[in-house]
């Protein structure tokens, strides 16, 4: 097992720093773009989608303003190396489908090490590990449930994924299936999740982690971009004129790319003049972010007796359950995930209640040594983060068409991007990055900065005399 410490983290994060980019004479440093005036493109939000869009616009040599409401970049993908002394991915941490994931390819090009995540989770039943036959029953229940929820959805109308569960699925597996396929995977319980949206999601059976954290990779990829931090967009005028108002000034642009979360947009934290069309408002309401929070625990000397990056669920008897990722990267960091309605309610109770639940849950499964072994700890509370208001995008029943709505621009002037604006990779870091790149290319094409390559016409053959 490879050792993992502060030195290896800093080495991995440092390797991800990309070379400076030069574009239209703008110095590639934070705050280099004026807070007001004219630019080619305004990009709202410096999460993964915003960083991807800014890199594409920079590569095209166009002047842009990248504004971010919070005091850091990365959005819901951030690696915290201070709270527990080890790299803790507070949000997105896995790169799914690494063979086609653009971030996995960027990591390889930057020399950032990625490693495969164990494909099968482990199952705890009370104080013991599941036996072979019980594991087969668990995996069979997951397979049957997912197939039943997704296959009819491909040809019929939408419904809550819970309504599509097989009628003969044993009752004792239903709470576990609901948590694993719903709350943990999407941030929504199956009763609040669109079956059609679930059916359209891409393959997520293979994934890799970044040595040093996915957030460290994203931050490094955006390090040289001229981002204006603590600069929220307060109003976007998009019909007669195209401009973005912020507390620091007014930016006029030829194109605007909005990567703020769907929950922030649905809450009206950015005003649009005129108001967004009803189709967009409905799409945002159906695509609000689900709830998924993490409780990081420093547990030296491996009191759980698990391997590096082992994922574990319990055979649950109700919604009050969680998931465990043990010994992240071979370190002393273990992370407990809570999601869905239960996770959302728990997060409102604060850090102490969340930590107490995680320790009690692990103690019930592994014994009281967990509480004695605990050193530092930290939690996320994404629902309370003012510029996030949730963790990941998943469609509510009837809202599966909202993604296509957001993928279409407003009057060829305003484009949306983010983890909600992807039909198959929704709710993932790779999907957010792809949508940002795609929106930037569409905007650049519209303002004439890039052109589609047209095939050459074949030369006309002359008839011989």
pLDDT at residue 211 in the model: 93
Residue 21 sits at the vertex; the CA angle it makes with 15 and 22, to the nearest 5 degrees, is 160
Task: Read off the pLDDT of each residue in 343-356 and give the average, rounded to a whole number.
Answer: 98
Give the pLDDT mean for 64-92. 97
Eight-class DSSP state of 324: E
C-alpha separations of 110 from 18, 210, 212, 385, 439 in Å = 7, 12, 13, 31, 24
Its pTM stands at: 0.89
HSE toward the beta carbon, residue 235, CA cutoff 13 A: 12
pLDDT of residue 11: 36
Q: Residues 423-444: pLDDT tens digits? A: 999 999 999 999 999 999 999 9
Confidence of residue 446 (pLDDT cuts 50, 70, 90): very high
Q: Is the model's pLDDT at 18 over the cut of 80?
A: no
Please report the pLDDT score of residue 151 as a whole number.
80
More confident residue, 352 or 109: 352
pLDDT over 60 at 3, yes or no:
no
- The closest of 60, 68, 67, 66 to 24, measured between CA atoms, is 60
Q: What domains does the chain contain, in order, with CATH numbers? A: 6-81+211-287+392-446 (3.50.50.60), 120-201+292-384 (3.90.660.10)
What's the mean pLDDT in 273-282?
96
What pLDDT is attached to residue 157? 79
Strand, coil or helix: what is 265?
helix
pLDDT greater than 60 at residue 190: yes
Tell me which residue of 401, 185, 200 sits closest to 285, measured CA to CA: 401
Residue 463's contacts (CB-CB under 8 Å, 6 or more residues apart) are none
Tally of CA atoms within 13 A in the half-sphere of 278 that contains its CB: 0
Question: What per-residue confidence (pLDDT) applies to 156?
Answer: 63
* pLDDT at position 370 over 80: yes
Least trusted range by pLDDT, from 6-20, 118-132, 190-204, 230-244:
6-20
- The mean pLDDT value of the chain amounts to 89
pLDDT for 202: 87
User: 65: part of which helix (H) or strand (E)?
Assistant: strand 64-67
pLDDT at 36: 81
3-state secondary structure 70-126: CCCCECCCCEECCCCCCCEECCCCEEECCCCCHHHHHHHHHCCCEEECCCCCEEEEC
pLDDT, greater one: 144 or 5? 144
Q: Name the least confident of 30-44, 118-132, 227-241, 331-345.
A: 30-44
Tokens representing residue 463 in the block: 């008839």
Reply yes or no on whether the pLDDT at 115 is more than 90.
yes
Average pLDDT over every residue of 109-135:
93
Digit-coded pLDDT (tens) for 50-66: 999 999 999 999 999 99
Q: Look at residue 262 in the predicted model and tell me its pLDDT.
A: 98
Question: Which whole number is the average pLDDT over 169-198?
Answer: 96
pLDDT at 338: 98
Question: What's the pLDDT at 452?
Answer: 67
Tens-place pLDDT, residues 375-430: 999 999 999 999 999 999 999 999 989 999 999 999 999 999 999 999 999 999 99
Contact 62, 40 (CB under 8 A): yes
**What integer pLDDT is reported at residue 21 of this predicted model?**
35
Whether 4 shows a pLDDT value over 70: the answer reads no
């Amino acid at each position: 097992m490879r050792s993992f410490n502060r030195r290896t983290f800093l080495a991995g994060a440092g390797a991800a720093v990309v070379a400076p980019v030069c574009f239209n004479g703008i110095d590639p440093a934070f705050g280099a773009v004026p807070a007001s005036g004219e630019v080619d493109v305004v990009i709202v939000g410096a999460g993964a989608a915003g960083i991807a869009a800014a890199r594409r616009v920079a590569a095209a040599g166009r002047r842009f303003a990248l504004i971010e409401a919070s005091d850091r970049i990365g959005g819901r993908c951030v690696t915290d190396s201070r709270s527990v002394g080890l790299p803790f991915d507070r949000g997105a941490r896995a790169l799914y489908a690494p063979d086609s994931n653009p971030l996995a390819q960027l990591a390889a090009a930057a020399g950032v090490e990625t490693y495969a995540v164990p494909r099968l989770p482990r199952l705890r039943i009370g104080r013991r590990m599941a036996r072979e036959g019980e594991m087969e029953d668990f995996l069979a229940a997951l397979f049957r449930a997912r197939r039943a929820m997704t296959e009819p959805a491909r040809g019929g109308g939408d419904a809550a994924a819970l309504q599509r569960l097989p009628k003969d699925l044993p009752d004792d597996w239903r709470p576990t299936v609901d948590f694993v396929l719903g709350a943990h995977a999407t941030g929504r319980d199956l009763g609040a999740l669109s079956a059609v949206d679930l059916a359209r999601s891409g393959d997520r059976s293979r994934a890799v982690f970044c040595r040093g954290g996915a957030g460290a990779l994203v931050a490094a990829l955006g390090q040289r971009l001229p981002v204006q931090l603590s600069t929220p967009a307060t109003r976007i005028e998009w019909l007669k004129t195209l401009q973005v108002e912020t507390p620091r000034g007014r930016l006029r642009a030829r194109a605007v790319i909005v990567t703020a979360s769907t929950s922030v947009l649905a809450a009206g934290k950015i005003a649009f003049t005129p108001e967004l069309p009803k189709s967009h408002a409905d799409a945002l309401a159906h695509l609000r972010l689900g709830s998924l929070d993490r409780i990081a625990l420093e547990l030296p000397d491996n009191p759980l007796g698990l391997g590096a990056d082992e994922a574990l669920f319990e055979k649950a008897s109700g919604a009050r359950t969680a998931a465990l990722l043990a010994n992240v990267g071979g370190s002393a960091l273990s992370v407990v995930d809570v999601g869905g309605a239960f996770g959302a309610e728990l997060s409102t109770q604060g850090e102490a209640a969340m930590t107490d639940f995680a320790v009690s849950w692990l103690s019930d499964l592994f014994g009281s040594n967990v509480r004695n072994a605990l050193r530092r700890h930290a939690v996320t509370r994404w629902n309370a983060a003012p510029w996030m208001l949730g963790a990941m995008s998943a469609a509510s029943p009837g809202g599966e068409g909202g993604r296509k709505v957001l993928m279409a621009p407003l009057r060829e002037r305003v484009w949306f991007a983010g983890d909600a604006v992807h039909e198959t990779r929704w709710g993932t870091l790779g999907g957010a990055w792809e949508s940002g790149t795609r929106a930037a290319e569409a905007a650049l094409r519209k303002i004439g900065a890039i052109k589609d390559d047209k095939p050459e016409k074949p030369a006309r053959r002359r008839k011989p005399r």
